[in-house]
């Protein structure tokens, strides 16, 4: 009997690091919010939280029609790891393609649509300062006191 109990104890000790979490590092906390450009919601923008700390991990989200987003670090909508972040915003017009017979055909369609999109005026123009982590004036602390509001202006 004592041998079985001791074996269970050793197994429990061996599993302790696994049960404590992978890597033992901090876990993400839920982060959601809205993005506006000149007071209007931006749909289809990518929000990236770039950690200020060198050993930090970025989190990313995609805005919906109402400008709302949820951040992801490891798994969908799991949030961001607590810390200080620079916020980067980019926008690339969506590209839709019809089903193709081959991967090569699909890629050609996508490239063609991207070229057409470059010639057209984009729906949103995000000022360059917001698209560069070295220049962005937007910073955010995680965890936040409620939903995050990222308000950017055309004037940069």
Residue 5 phi, psi (nearest 5): -65, -45
CATH number of 27-152: 2.60.40
Res. 18 pLDDT band, cuts 50 70 90? very low
Name the strand (E) or helix (H) holding 134.
none
84: left (phi over 0), alpha (psi -120 to 50) or beta: beta
Q: In angstroms, rounded to a whole number, what is the distance separating the alpha carbons of residues 93 and 90?
A: 10
Q: In angstroms, rounded to a whole number, what is the distance separating the alpha carbons of residues 12 and 36?
A: 50
Alpha-helical runs (H) found in 21-90:
none
pLDDT digits (tens, 9 = 90+) for 128-144: 999 999 999 999 999 98
pLDDT digits (tens, 9 = 90+) for 62-109: 999 999 999 999 999 999 999 999 999 999 776 565 565 677 777 787
**Domain residue ranges in the chain:** 27-152
Residue-level pLDDT at 36: 96
Residue 78 contacts by C-beta under 8 Å, 6 or more apart in sequence? 28, 30, 71, 72
* Mean predicted confidence (pLDDT) in 116-131: 79
* Mean predicted confidence (pLDDT) in 47-68: 95
pTM above 0.75, yes or no: no
């Amino acid at each position: 009997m004592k041998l079985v109990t001791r074996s269970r104890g050793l197994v429990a000790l061996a599993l302790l690091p696994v049960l404590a979490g992978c890597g033992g590092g901090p876990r993400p906390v839920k982060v959601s919010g809205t993005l506006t450009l000149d007071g209007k919601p931006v749909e289809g923008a990518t929000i990236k939280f770039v950690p200020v700390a060198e050993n930090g991990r970025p989190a990313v989200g995609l805005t919906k029609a109402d400008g709302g987003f949820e951040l992801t670090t490891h798994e969908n909508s799991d949030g961001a790891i607590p810390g200080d972040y620079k916020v980067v915003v980019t926008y690339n017009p969506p590209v839709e393609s019809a089903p193709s017979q081959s991967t090569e055909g699909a890629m050609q369609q996508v490239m063609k649509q991207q070229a057409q999109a470059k010639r057209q005026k984009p729906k949103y123009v995000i000022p360059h300062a917001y698209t560069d982590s070295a220049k962005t004036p937007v910073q955010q602390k995680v965890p936040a006191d409620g939903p995050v509001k990222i308000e950017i202006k055309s004037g940069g």
